[in-house]
Amino acid sequence: MRDKIRVKFEKTGMMKFIGHLDVMRYFQKAIRRANIDIAYSEGFSPHQKMSFAAPLGIGLVGMGEYFDIEVYSIQGSSEDMKNALNNTMVDGFKVVSLRKLPENVPNAMSSVYAADYTVTIHGDNIKLSPKELSEKIIAFYNQDTIITEKETKKSTRMLDIKPLIYSLTSVDGVTKMCLSTGSTDNIKPELVMQKFCETYLGIEYTEDPILFDYQRDEVYTNVAKEGEAMKLVTLEDMGEVIEG
């Protein structure tokens, strides 16, 4: 068995405009620059064994993004490898932690269950006091159902997203939410804010002008057993620090 390493990174500033595929390409090259002993597939054009957690949309800042890699060998401690990577980062990308995954921990992609987001008003594009915003958000979240239209390839279907919003609060103008994330029931914060605008602010949701800035703070997996209540653990905490 080859060792698996989980890397947590930030994507900030203007790097929020880089799409997911390019982020992957960026880290593939960064890993080579940092001399991490990553494992390759066989064949004429070998590729790195690497798996990203949940793609982040263009325009969103990420403070808790993840990918896993397989390595032939571990060179140094978590701290050493993190530093090696950070020495080759450009402004806007930063590795915040690097951990070894115990055997049989599922890979980043398949473990994603939920994510935290922070949403703020872009400039003063919506004129609303923090207090009003807070009250309206509470009222919005207190509804029994929040029905949205979800477009699929063939049709638009109605979906109640209330059960998929695990939390939603707004304090001092900063709105925070925890949303269902992953391959099934993936909810984007834009969808929540769009519904909120339309139903509680009575304004049309637009991207030009931009109304809100979005940031993903953390990504979680659910470690609850069958039948138990949801128990969220960050992807980072599934790994173990490699001591020097």
Q: Which stretch binds another protein (CB under 8 A): 8-16, 76-84, 171-179, 185-193?
A: 8-16
Residue 151 DSSP class:
E
Residues 105, 4: contact at Cβ < 8 Å?
Answer: yes
Other CB atoms within 10 A of residue 93 CB:
22
Token pair, residue 30, equals 């960064």
In angstroms, the first-to-last Cα distance of the chain is: 21
Can you tell me which of 7, 9, 11, 48 binds another protein, judged by CB under 8 A? 48
Taking CB under 8 A as the rule, does residue 63 contact another protein? no
The answer to whether the CB of 104 falls within 8 A of the CB of 112 is: no
Residue 152 exposed, middle or buried by CB count within 10 Å (0-12, 13-18, 19+): exposed
Q: Does 124 bind another protein (CB under 8 A)?
A: no
Helix (H) or strand (E) holding 196: helix 189-196
Q: Nearest-CA neighbor of 118 among 68, 192, 47?
A: 192
**Applying CB under 8 A, does 208 fall inside the site for another protein?**
yes
Out of 124, 151, 172, 207, name the contact with another protein by CB under 8 A. Answer: 207
Tell me how far, at minimum, the Cβ of 228 lies from another protein, in Å: 41
Residue 194 parent element (H or E) = helix 189-196
Residue number, 169 or 206, with CB nearest to another protein: 206
Shortest distance, position 65 Cβ to another protein, whole Å: 15
Contact stretch for another protein (CB under 8 A) within 22-30, 62-70, 146-154, 179-187 = 22-30
Tell me how many residues contact another protein (CB under 8 A).
Answer: 32
Q: How far is the CB of 91 from another protein (least distance, A)?
A: 5
User: Interface with another protein includes 40 (CB under 8 A)?
Assistant: yes
Q: What residues line the site for another protein (CB under 8 A)? A: 13-15, 17-19, 22, 25-26, 28-33, 40, 43-46, 48, 58-59, 88, 90-92, 122, 207-210
